[in-house]
A and B are shown apart, each in its own frame.
Chain A
Amino acid sequence: DAKTTQPTSMDCAEGRAANLPCNHSTISGNEYVYWYRQIHSQGPQYIIHGLKNNETNEMASLIITEDRKSSTLILPHATLRDTAVYYCIVRVMKTSYDKVIFGPGTSLSVIP
């Protein structure tokens, strides 16, 4: 199963775009990239996911490189409420099992 690597922490000024990178160099063809975030003491919250194409929703954009070895989560206009730990996850979904391996996460601090 693929593993992910993320920076331990990042800062972002309020109102600016937050760009959170993730490396998943051993990802295989049937593995999706998911992003979750966890605000202190709460359960993780789904943000976005993708397979090979770039994706956008009301929360964020996900940019996946053509070789799929890395991706970037973009929060277009970070607010103080976006301060959280962000997890980049490679999800294996096969007919026989569904397993999620969490990366170390990036602690994002949005600064006023």
Chain B
Amino acid sequence: KAGVTQTPRYLIKTRGQQVTLSCSPISGHRSVSWYQQTPGQGLQFLFEYFSETQRNKGNFPGRFSGRQFSNSRSEMNVSTLELGDSALYLCASSLDSHTGELFFGEGSRLTVL
């Protein structure tokens, strides 16, 4: 079956703009989580959604937001982009069982100029 799909794979924005990233989970997976990866901070948890509800959020400013649709697809949005937002944004899905592993997409690489 198809894996986790993230779009776009690469994008370039300028400071002050906003960006929307999309994630399509594996069919049947209801939990979607987002991570930011930078060379300096490593992999950091952004937020997790289940059945269109945000269940948990990491320590990121309010400029970072997300949502999940009824088909479990998820989007994240970053407004008023800053240079430090340049990163690889990873999405992962899981079955939400108590032992379910996370399946990661290949990520969306955002560059802010």
Indicate, yes or no, whether A interacts with B.
yes
B72 within 8 A of A: no
Contact of A44 among B31, B45, B56, B90 (CB under 8 A): B90
Contact of B56 among A42, A46, A99, A105 (CB under 8 A): A99
| Chain A interface mostly | strand
A93 within 8 A of B: yes
| Chain B interface mostly | strand
Q: How many A-B contacts if CB must be within 8 Å? A: 59
Whole-angstrom distance between the alpha carbons of A36 and B42 in the complex?
14
A interface size (C-beta, 8 A): 22
Residues in A with CB closer than 8 Å to B55 are 96-98
- The answer on a CB contact under 8 Å between B42 and A102 is yes
Residues in A with CB closer than 8 Å to B35 are 100, 102
- The answer on a CB contact under 8 Å between B43 and A46 is no
- The answer on a CB contact under 8 Å between B90 and A43 is yes
A34 within 8 A of B: yes
The 8 A CB mask of A34-54 against B (1 = contact, 0 = none) is 101000011111100101000
Which B residues form the contact surface with A (CB < 8 A)? 4, 31, 33, 35, 42-45, 48, 50, 55-56, 88, 90, 92, 94, 96, 98-99, 101-107
